[in-house]
Chain A
Amino acid sequence: MTTVRPRALRDPPWMRRTLVAAALLFAALFLLLPLAAVFGYALRDGYAVYVQSLSDPDARAAIRLTLLVAAIAVPANTLFGLAAAWLITRFAFRGKGLLVTLIDLPFAVSPVVSGLVFVLLFGAQGLLGPWLAAHDVGIIFAVPGIVLATTFVTFPYVARELIPLMQDQGSEEEQAAITLGASAARMFWHVTLPKVRWALLYGVILCNARAMGEFGAVSVVSGHIRGLTATMPLQVEMLYNEFSRYSQTGAFAVASLLALLALATLAIKRLLEWRMRREHAALRPLGETA
C-alpha cells in the first residue's frame, strides 16, 4: 500500500489536490463542525452554567440511570456473545446459518420498532400486559423496559466481533489444552480468552457506546418520567424541546458528556484496531477491517 507507485499509476497532481481538498472540506464542515458545536453550545453561557446544568438533580438521575442500564445490558450481551461465538465456531450442528442470521437480526430493526415490540409484549394492551398488571409488575414506562430495549438493540455487537475472529483462529490450541488434561474453565481462562481479548474488548466498547447512547428504542418504552425513567439521551431531548436558552444549553451540557463518550469510544477503537492488526500481522497480512 505504501510502496511508491509507478508514474503511470499516479493520479495527476491537480486531481489529487482537488479530491483531497474536497474530502477535507467535507469532513471539516460535516463531521468536525457538529462535534465542536456540541461543546461550543454547552459552554456558550460559561463554565459555571455548564457545571450547574450537570449538577441538576434530573441530569444526575439521568446519568445514573444510563450507567445502570449499560451496567446490565453490556455484561449480559458480553456473556451471550462469548457463549454464542464458542458454540458457532467450535461445533458443527444443524441450523447454524439460521442462528447466525437471527443473532444479526436486531441490526435490521429500526430503533423505534425495537421499542415497539416490547410495548406489544409487556404494555397494558400487550400479550403479557394483563398478567403483569395483575401481579403488579411494571416493565413498560419503567426501568426494566429500558434495560430490555437497550439489550435488544445492542444484542449482536460482541458476538459479531468474536465469531469471525474465532473462526479464523481455529481450535487447535484449545484441543491441545483439553488433551493435556486442562479443565474447561482453565482452557477458557488461559487459552481462549487471551486469544480473543482485543476483539472482545472491541465488541464491548461498541456495545457500551450504543447502550449509553440509544434513543429511539428507549424513547418508546420509557414514558419520559423526569428523574425516574429518563436516560441521558432522553434528558437531552426533553431539555432541548423546552426551547428556552437556558434549558437548551443544559441539553447540550448533557449531550457534551455523550459526545465525550463517543470520542473516547473512537480513540479506544483506533487503539484496538492497531493492536489487533499487529497481533494478526503474521497470520493475515492484509488485516481485517470492521
Chain B
Amino acid sequence: MLARRRSLPGFGLTLGLTLAYLAAIVLLPLAALAWKTAGLGWTEFVAAATAPRALAAYRVSFGCAAVAGAVNLVMGTLLAWVLARYRFPGRRLVDALIDLPFALPTAVAGIVLTSLYADTGPLGRLFAAAGIRIAYTPLGITLALTFVSLPFLVRSVQPVLEALEPELEEAAATLGAGRLTTMLRVILPMLAPAILAGFALAFARAVGEYGSVVFISGNLPLKTEIAPFLIVARLEEYDYAGATAIAVVLLLASFAALLAINLLQLWLVRRRSAEGTA
C-alpha cells in the first residue's frame, strides 16, 4: 500500500468522529468498570471473585462451555467437511441454517429449547423415559451453549477446507495413502489451526452467554447457576462489588481465549512462511 494518503479529504473529520464516538459508547463505560474494580481493593475483590457461589458458577460456565466446544469440534468440523466437499439435496438449506444461531435472538432460542427439552416437552419426554433429564441440569446448559456456538466452528473451518489445494491430497494418494490415512494425516493437521480458532471463539462466546441459557438452566445456586446469571443476581441484590468482580473474571477469560487465537494465528503464519522458505 502506498504510504501517502493525505491527499484525500476527511482525515480530521473522521478521526474526531471515530474517537469521540468510541470514547462515549465503549471506552467510558469500560472505564467505569475499571474504576469500580480499582475502588474495591484487592482483598474485597478476591473475596467477591472467589466466593463459593462464584466458584461454582465459573465451574458451570467454563465446564459447560468447554464440553459444548468439544461437541462442536466434532459436529462443526463434520458439517464443514460435508458442506465443503459433497453435493447433496438440501445442501444450500443446511448451509444457510448454520447461521441460524447467530441470527435468532438468544431469548427465542432459550425458550424454544426449554420447551422442547423440558421433561414434559416432546423431546425431553423421550429422554426422561430413559432416565435422562436435560432441562434444569448442566446437560441442558451444555445443549443451549452448543446451539449458540455451533456457527463459530463451521464458519472458521469451512473456508479453509474450500481453499485447500488438491495437490497435497493427490501426492498422498500417489504415495499410496488410503483415503482415511490422507484425511487423518494430511488434511486434519492442515485444518487444526482453524478448528482450534473456532473452538476458542465458540468458548469465548459460550462463557459469556446469557439469553439462551437462563431459561433452560434453572439457575440453582451452586448447581446450575452460570456466571453471567450470578452477575445479574448480585446486581438485583445491589451488590455492585460482587457483580463487578465476577464480570472482571469473565472479561479476562474471554480476552485470554481471544489472545490464544491471535497467538495461534501468528504461530501459523510463521510456520507457513518457514515452510515456504524451506
Contacts and interface: CB of A to CB of B under 8 A. Distances in A.
B228 interface: yes
| Residue from A108, A212, A267 having most chain B Cβ neighbours under 10 A | A108
A272 interface: no
Contacts of A155: 25-26
Interface string B210-226: 11001100000000000
In which size bucket is the chain B interface?
Answer: 35 or more
A92 B54 CA distance: 45
Contact of B8 (A123, A152, A174): A174
A99 interface: yes
A120 B33 contact: yes
A9 B116 contact: no
Interface stretch (B41-49, B101-109, B268-276): B101-109
A261 B13 CA distance: 35
A25 to B, nearest CB: 11
Contact of B207 (A110, A178, A215, A237): A110
A281 interface: no
Interface residues of A, number: 102
B28 interface: yes
A120 B9 contact: no
A16 B103 contact: no
Contacts of B255: 108
Given A19-B86, A252-B111, A102 B27 contact: yes
A24 B17 CA distance: 47
A126 B79 CA distance: 46
A37 B210 contact: no
Contacts of B115: 37, 41, 248, 252
B240 interface: yes
A11 B179 contact: yes
B278 to A, nearest CB: 25
A235 to B, nearest CB: 9
A5 B166 contact: yes
A266 B3 contact: no
Interface of A, secondary structure class, is helix
Interface in A45-97: 76, 79-80, 83-84, 86-87, 90-93
Given A34-B147, A184-B10, A240-B215, A259 B86 contact: no
Contacts of A15: 179
Q: Which one of A6, A91, A148, A252 has the highest number of Cβ atoms from chain B below 10 Å of its Cβ? A: A91
A203 interface: no
Contact of A255 (B36, B101, B107, B254): B107
B264 interface: no
B97 interface: yes
B161 to A, nearest CB: 10
B96 A8 contact: no
Contacts of A22: 78, 82
A80 B16 CA distance: 11
B78 to A, nearest CB: 6
A91 B6 contact: yes
Contact of A213 (B36, B90, B105): B105
B145 interface: no
A212 B105 contact: yes
Contact of B210 (A91, A93, A111, A266): A111
B127 interface: no
A8 B83 CA distance: 20
A216 B211 contact: yes
Given A111-B208, A116-B244, A213 B6 contact: no
Contact of B208 (A35, A113, A240): A113
Nearest to B230: A112
28 contacts: A1-B162, A8-B170, A11-B85, A11-B179, A23-B83, A30-B150, A35-B100, A79-B17, A80-B21, A80-B22, A87-B10, A87-B18, A92-B5, A108-B255, A112-B232, A116-B243, A117-B33, A120-B244, A155-B25, A171-B8, A213-B105, A215-B106, A219-B210, A236-B111, A252-B112, A262-B104, A269-B103, A286-B163
Rank and list the top 4 A-B pairs by shortest CB-CB distance, nearest first: A110-B208, A213-B105, A215-B211, A216-B210
Interface of B: 1, 3-11, 13-15, 17-18, 21-22, 25-30, 32-33, 35-36, 75, 78-79, 81-83, 85-88, 90, 94, 96-101, 103-109, 111-116, 146-147, 150, 155, 158-159, 162-163, 166, 169-170, 173-174, 179, 204, 207-211, 214-215, 228-229, 231-232, 235, 238, 240, 243-244, 247, 250-251, 254-255, 258
Interface of A: 1-2, 5-6, 8-12, 15-16, 19-20, 22-24, 26-27, 30-35, 37-38, 41, 76, 79-80, 83-84, 86-87, 90-93, 99, 102-103, 105-106, 108-113, 116-121, 123, 125-127, 148, 151-152, 155, 170-171, 174-175, 178, 184, 187-188, 209, 212-216, 219-220, 232-234, 236-237, 240, 248, 251-252, 255, 258-259, 261-263, 265-267, 269-270, 286, 289-290
